[in-house]
C-alpha cells in the first residue's frame, strides 16, 4: 500500500483522538457545573454526520483540524460563528429556560473550569498513554550495559563496522560500566581516534572510532559542540507497576510541557529558528511513519501531540482557551469586559492563529522531505539537528517514552 494511503487512517485516528478528548473535557466540565450544551462538533465546515440526543447535537464535519463545544448562552466567537443555535438560545429564554444554565451567567471560576478542562484532558491523555506504554513495555534504563541499539547511517560508527547488538567492551583500554559512561568517553574525546573493543556474539573485535563534532543548541542562544559517533543504545526495560507507570507518565508529561514552553520562548526571542514549527502536513507524514513502527511508537506520538495541543491552547491568545482564561482573569481584576471588545480581540486572535497555521504549513511544504522522517541520519541532517538528537539519547536527556530512538 502506498505511504500516502497508509498515512490517511493514522492521521485521522491521531487527530480524532486528540480533538474528541479535548472537546470532551469542555463538554463534561460544562455538564458538571450545570451549563447546557447545544453542539459537540468535531471538525469544521460542512457536516458529514449530525445526530441530536437530548439538547445536544453531535456533529462530524469535513475539515478535521479542530472542533468545538457550543453551550447555552455562549457568545458566538470567531470559530463557531453565528449559527442556527443562536436562535434556539433566544427561543429558550423566551420559553423560560433558567438563566442558570447559560454559560455567560456562570461565575468566573465555573467558566474558567469549563475552558481549562479541554487542555486538562489533553494532559491527562498524555499521562495515560505514557503510563500505558511504560506499563506494557517496561521503563527504559540507560544505566544498563553499553549495547548498541542502532547505528546511524553515514556515521563514524557505521564506517567503523559497528552493528546492532554489539557490546562495547572497552574504549582506549577502559571498560564503560553503562551507556552513559560510554557516551561521556566519546564526548570527552576531543575528536581523537578511539580504540574500541566490541563483543559480537562470542567474538571480540578491535576497531577504531573517530568522533565527529556536532553543534548542539543550548539555552539562551548558547551553542555547545559535542563529539559524537552515531550510536544509539539498546535500551533495556524494567517491568514496573501501575503506580510507577503513572509516576513516569506525569513526570514525562511535565518535562515535555516545560521543554515546549522553553522552545516557544526561544523562538519568540529569536534564539531559535521558527523554521522548526511543524504543521498538519508534518503530522500527516509522521503519523503514518509512527504507526508503521508499531503500537508503542504510535501511542507515544499521540501523547506527544496531546501535550503540544494542551500547551498551545493555554497560550494567552484570543480564540484559544488560554485567551478566554486571560479575559476571565482580567474580569476578575478589573470587572466585566464588553462583548464588543471580546469579539474584536478574537478577530485579532483568529488572524494570528491563521497566520501561524499558514507559516507552519509553508514550513511543511518547503522542508526537505527527508526531514519528515523520524529515522536518524548522519550526513543528510544538519549538525544542529543530528547533534541534538544524539545528545538527548546519549546523555539520557530524552523523555522516557517518546523519542527513544530519535
Sort residue 81 into left (φ over 0), alpha (ψ -120 to 50) or beta. Answer: left
In this predicted structure, what is the pLDDT of residue 84?
A: 42
Q: Is 331 a catalytic residue?
A: no
Cα four-point dihedral sign 17, 23, 27, 29: positive
The residue from 23, 139, 385, 386 that is catalytic is 23
Q: What is the mean pLDDT of each run of 10 residues along the chain (406 residues)?
A: 70 91 95 90 87 90 85 61 48 55 86 95 96 90 80 88 92 90 90 92 91 62 69 83 93 92 79 70 82 89 94 89 91 82 78 79 67 48 40 34 30
pLDDT of residue 393: 37
DSSP string, 172-212: TTB--SSHHHHHHHHHTTTT--EEEEEEETTEEEEEEE-PE
3-state SS class at 306: helix
> Cell triple for residue 90?
433566544
CATH 2.30.42.10 segments of the chain: 143-234
Compute and round to an integer the Cα radius of gyration of the chain: 25
Domain 143-234: which CATH number of 2.30.42.10, 1.10.10.60, 2.40.50.140, 1.10.3720.10? 2.30.42.10
Amino acid at each position: 500500500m502506498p505511504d500516502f494511503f497508509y498515512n490517511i487512517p493514522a492521521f485521522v485516528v491521531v487527530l480524532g483522538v486528540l480533538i474528541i478528548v479535548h472537546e470532551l473535557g469542555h463538554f463534561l466540565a460544562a455538564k458538571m457545573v450545570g451549563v447546557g450544551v447545544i453542539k459537540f462538533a468535531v471538525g469544521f465546515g460542512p457536516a458529514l454526520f449530525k445526530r441530536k440526543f437530548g439538547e445536544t447535537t453531535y456533529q462530524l464535519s469535513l475539515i478535521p483540524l479542530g472542533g468545538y463545544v457550543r453551550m447555552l448562552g455562549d457568545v458566538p466567537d470567531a470559530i463557531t460563528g453565528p449559527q442556527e443555535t443562536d436562535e434556539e438560545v433566544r427561543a429558550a429564554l423566551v420559553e423560560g429556560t433558567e438563566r442558570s444554565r447559560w454559560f455567560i451567567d456562570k461565575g468566573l471560576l465555573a467558566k474558567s473550569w469549563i475552558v481549562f478542562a479541554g487542555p486538562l484532558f489533553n494532559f491527562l491523555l498524555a499521562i495515560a498513554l505514557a503510563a500505558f506504554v511504560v506499563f506494557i513495555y517496561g521503563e527504559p534504563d540507560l544505566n544498563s550495559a553499553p549495547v548498541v541499539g542502532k547505528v546511524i547511517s553515514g556515521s563514524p560508527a557505521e564506517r567503523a563496522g559497528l552493528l546492532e547488538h554489539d557490546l562495547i567492551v572497552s574504549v582506549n583500554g577502559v571498560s564503560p560500566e553503562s551507556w552513559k559512561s560510554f557516551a561521556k568517553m566519546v564526548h570527552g574525546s576531543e575528536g581523537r581516534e578511539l580504540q574500541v573493543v566490541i563483543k559480537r556474539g562470542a567474538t571480540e573485535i578491535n576497531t577504531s572510532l573517530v568522533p565527529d563534532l556536532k553543534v548542539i543548541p543550548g539555552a539562551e542562544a548558547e551553542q555547545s559542540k559535542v563529539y559524537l559517533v552515531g550510536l544509539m543504545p539498546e535500551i533495556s526495560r524494567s517491568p514496573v507497576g501501575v503506580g510507577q507507570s503513572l509516576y513516569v507518565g506525569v513526570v514525562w508529561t511535565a518535562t515535555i510541557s516545560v521543554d515546549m514552553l522553553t522552545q516557544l520562548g526561544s523562538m519568540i526571542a529569536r534564539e531559535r529558528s521558527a523554521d522548526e514549527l511543524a504543521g498538519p502536513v508534518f503530522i500527516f507524514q509522521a503519523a503514518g511513519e509512527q504507526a508503521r513502527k508499531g503500537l508503542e511508537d504510535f501511542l507515544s506520538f499521540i501523547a506527544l501531540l496531546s501535550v503540544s495541543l494542551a500547551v498551545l491552547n493555554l497560550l494567552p491568545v484570543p480564540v484559544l482557551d488560554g485567551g478566554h482564561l486571560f479575559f476571565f482573569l482580567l474580569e476578575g481584576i478589573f470587572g466585566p469586559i464588553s462583548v464588543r471588545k471580546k469579539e474584536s480581540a478574537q478577530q485579532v486572535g483568529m488572524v494570528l492563529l491563521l497566520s501561524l497555521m499558514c507559516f507552519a504549513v509553508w514550513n511543511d511544504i518547503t522542508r526537505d522531505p527527508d526531514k519528515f522522517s523520524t529515522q536518524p541520519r548522519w550526513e543528510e541532517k544538519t549538525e544542529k539537528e543530528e547533534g541534538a538528537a544524539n545528545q538527548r539519547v546519549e546523555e539520557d536527556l530524552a523523555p522516557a517514552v517518546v523519542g527513544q530512538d530519535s
